[in-house]
């Protein structure tokens, strides 16, 4: 049923880079078999899922949206994918994305743009745009995405679905194609908060294959979700929520304000001045880490190799043929920020060690140097979260924009990440969920997503709040 729906919609949406029909059918048959024999089935048995193409899938090509990785078939599953399979999920295919996670509209995919199911002239957001579009169009029940600077939350917002960016280290990064390792998080995109909670419960938890993965055991995040009929008349009584002043976006303010009216006991506003400094710091740190991470794509170890007479020109031709222009731009900027003479002015300023301990960011390897701008962001958000149970803001300044609208202006594209990147710098979790619709001046109505930002490792509480709001 899902495969036929998927195929029918695929020509209009392009959500998937690869669909694994044979494997999906055999996995579904295996679950039928288990049921017939009366065997115990996993918590996600038969749940049809899409996997963002930057998560390794054993025996199924994994490209991270890049031509450079065409033909790369991983010999292993990413930890999150292996856990889904063990829980009985049916992996139906790999979803489209901006190349290596670099983008906010899915237009930087090396293969195809994905279109928004609400209006196919518009982008689905990015970089996990394929996952969000597939879930919104019911091509699959849920999907995995990754979030380095908003890539789960912003596409969830543009496509009117639920996205969860877990606390840094909550879900293993083993088998995730690295973009910026100190910011990358794996998380679910789903149609409801309860579905997202079910997926997160399966994929979270310690993993010896990722040293930055927290030792905290996973929880059953669905347990605390009170069924709607059992909710009291004032389910948010005693909860303290605050809206982040700096983030009321032009295109989405009305929808957000109307949604917030429904939240009882609200009225608080916090001012987080760090929102202004977070965006440039994010782009310095993410691009610096990316320039280092992407040096492995040299034509020797993975994917494509260009023909050439000698080594240097092989490197050059391979990269020229395989990497898109946005990826090249980012490698150049990251390399520049890390160069001798510029390092102190750019990278160190964004990421400088501070003697202060504490903050929300958690590292399993004990004391790590705390960065300067990052520390500011962590402290400010951390102290606001001591007063409030959750902070609210839109996931993006606008609803989904038109295909091609921002492709010639990278800076305009980067600015769209204003509301999401701070959390990645601070390592905090957030749930993005639909909160209403915004009428577009150009016609039509589009979904708007609201972020609920919570305390480090407070996903359980956050999902409960989101479920009540939903
Ligand atoms: N849009 C942001 C970027 O291009 C975030 C991407 C992501 O979270 N992978 O860096």
Domain boundaries, the chain: 2-224+454-464
Q: Walk along the chain (470 residues) and give the pLDDT tens digit of each residue.
A: 999 999 999 999 999 999 999 999 999 999 999 999 999 999 999 999 999 999 999 999 999 999 999 999 999 999 999 999 999 999 999 999 999 999 999 999 999 999 999 999 999 999 999 999 999 999 999 999 999 999 999 999 999 999 999 999 999 999 999 999 999 999 999 999 999 999 999 999 999 999 999 999 999 999 999 888 888 877 888 888 888 888 766 678 888 888 877 775 555 677 887 878 889 999 999 999 999 999 999 999 998 999 999 999 999 999 999 999 999 999 999 999 999 888 877 887 786 644 344 433 333 333 444 457 888 898 899 999 999 999 999 999 999 999 999 999 999 999 999 999 999 999 999 999 999 999 988 788 999 999 999 999 999 999 999 999 88
The answer to whether the CB of 451 falls within 8 A of the CB of 431 is yes
* Residue 150 beta carbon below 6 angstroms from any ligand 1 atom: yes
Q: What is the atom index within ligand 1 of the atom nearest the CA of 180?
A: 9
454 Cα–ligand 1 center, Å? 20
* Residue 302 beta carbon below 6 angstroms from any ligand 1 atom: no
Mutation test of ligand 1: which of 129, 151, 163, 397 has the most ligand atoms closer than 8 Å to its C-beta? 151
Mutation test of ligand 1: which of 65, 102, 109 has the most ligand atoms closer than 8 Å to its C-beta? 102
- CA Rg value for the chain: 21
The pLDDT assigned to 366 comes to 38
311 φ, ψ to 5°? Answer: -60, -50
The answer to whether the CB of 451 falls within 8 A of the CB of 421 is no
Cα–Cα distance measured from residue 19 to residue 326, given in angstroms and rounded to the nearest whole number: 26
149 Cα–ligand 1 center, Å? 5
The pLDDT assigned to 2 comes to 95
* Residue 286 beta carbon below 6 angstroms from any ligand 1 atom: yes
Nearest to 107 by CA among 403, 451, 385: 403
The pLDDT assigned to 40 comes to 94
447 Cα–ligand 1 center, Å? 20
Q: What is the atom index within ligand 1 of the atom nearest the CA of 152?
A: 8
* Residue 103 beta carbon below 6 angstroms from any ligand 1 atom: yes
Which whole-number Å values give the CA distances from 221 to 198, 302, 467, in the listed order? Answer: 7, 37, 11
Residues tagged active-site: 52, 127, 151
* Residue 107 beta carbon below 6 angstroms from any ligand 1 atom: no
148 Cα–ligand 1 center, Å? 6
* Residue 417 beta carbon below 6 angstroms from any ligand 1 atom: yes
Task: For the chain, report the end-to-end CA distance as a whole number of angstroms.
Answer: 27
* Residue 145 beta carbon below 6 angstroms from any ligand 1 atom: no
* Residue 151 beta carbon below 6 angstroms from any ligand 1 atom: yes
233 Cα–ligand 1 center, Å? 39
Cα–Cα distance measured from residue 278 to residue 423, given in angstroms and rounded to the nearest whole number: 9
**Fold category of 2-224+454-464 in CATH:** Amidase signature (AS) enzymes (3.90.1300)
Measured by CA distance, the residue closest to atom 2 of ligand 1 is 149
Nearest to 126 by CA among 99, 94, 144: 99
Which whole-number Å values give the CA distances from 30 to 24, 41, 46, in the listed order? Answer: 10, 10, 10
DSSP H or E stretch at residue 163: strand 162-165
What predicted TM-score, i.e. pTM, was given to this entire model?
A: 0.94
The pLDDT assigned to 272 comes to 85
ipTM of the complex: 0.98
The answer to whether the CB of 432 falls within 8 A of the CB of 153 is yes
Q: Is the bond leading into 127 cis (omega within 30 degrees of zero)?
A: yes
* Residue 139 beta carbon below 6 angstroms from any ligand 1 atom: no
Cα–Cα distance measured from residue 163 to residue 182, given in angstroms and rounded to the nearest whole number: 20
The pLDDT assigned to 353 comes to 41
Nearest to 59 by CA among 42, 72, 44: 72
The answer to whether the CB of 455 falls within 8 A of the CB of 249 is no
Cα–Cα distance measured from residue 190 to residue 188, given in angstroms and rounded to the nearest whole number: 6
100 Cα–ligand 1 center, Å? 9
281 Cα–ligand 1 center, Å? 13
């Amino acid at each position: 049923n899902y495969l036929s729906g998927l195929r029918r919609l695929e020509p209009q949406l392009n959500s998937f880079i690869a669909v694994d029909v044979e494997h999906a059918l055999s996995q579904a048959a295996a679950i039928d078999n288990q049921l017939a024999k009366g065997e115990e089935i996993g918590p996600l048995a038969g749940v049809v899922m899409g996997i963002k193409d930057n998560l390794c899938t054993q025996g199924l090509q994994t490209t991270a949206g890049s031509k450079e990785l065409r033909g790369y078939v991983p010999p292993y599953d990413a930890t999150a994918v292996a856990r889904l399979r063990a829980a009985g999920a049916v992996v139906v295919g790999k979803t489209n994305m901006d190349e290596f996670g670099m983008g906010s509209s899915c237009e930087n995919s090396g293969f195809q743009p994905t279109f928004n199911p609400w209006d196919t002239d518009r982008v689905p957001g990015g970089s996990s745009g394929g996952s969000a579009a597939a879930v919104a169009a019911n091509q699959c029940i849920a999907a995995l995405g990754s979030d380095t600077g908003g890539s789960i939350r912003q596409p969830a917002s543009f496509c009117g679905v639920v996205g969860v960016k877990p606390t840094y280290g909550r879900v293993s990064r083993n088998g995730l194609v690295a973009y910026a390792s100190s910011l990358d998080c794996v998380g679910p995109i789903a149609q409801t908060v309860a579905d997202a909670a079910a997926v997160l419960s399966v994929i979270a938890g310690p993993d010896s294959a990722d040293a930055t993965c927290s030792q905290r055991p996973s929880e059953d995040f669905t347990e605390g979700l009170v069924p709607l009929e059992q909710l009291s008349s004032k389910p948010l009584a005693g909860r303290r929520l605050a809206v982040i002043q700096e983030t009321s976006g032009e295109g989405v303010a009305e929808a957000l304000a109307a949604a917030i009216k429904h939240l009882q006991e609200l009225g608080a506003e916090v001012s987080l001045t760090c929102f202004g400094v977070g965006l440039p710091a994010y782009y310095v740190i993410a691009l610096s880490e990316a320039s280092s991470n992407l040096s492995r794509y040299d034509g020797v170890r993975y994917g494509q190799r260009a023909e050439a007479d000698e080594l240097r020109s092989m490197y050059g031709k391979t990269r020229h043929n395989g990497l898109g222009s946005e990826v090249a731009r980012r490698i150049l900027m990251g390399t520049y920020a890390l160069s001798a003479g510029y390092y102190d002015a750019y990278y160190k300023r964004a990421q400088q060690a501070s003697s202060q301990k504490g903050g929300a960011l958690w590292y399993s390897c004990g004391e790590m140097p705390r960065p300067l701008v990052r520390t500011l962001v962590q402290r400010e958000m951390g102290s606001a979260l001591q007063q409030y149970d959750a902070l609210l803001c839109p996931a993006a300044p606008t609803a989904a924009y038109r295909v091609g609208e921002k492709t010639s202006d990278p800076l305009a594209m980067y600015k769209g990440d204003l509301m999401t990147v701070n959390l990645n710098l601070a390592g905090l979790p957030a749930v993005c969920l639909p909160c209403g619709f915004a009428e577009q001046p150009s016609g039509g109505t589009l979904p708007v997503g609201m972020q609920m930002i919570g305390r480090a490792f407070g996903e359980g509480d956050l999902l409960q709040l989101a479920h009540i709001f939903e």
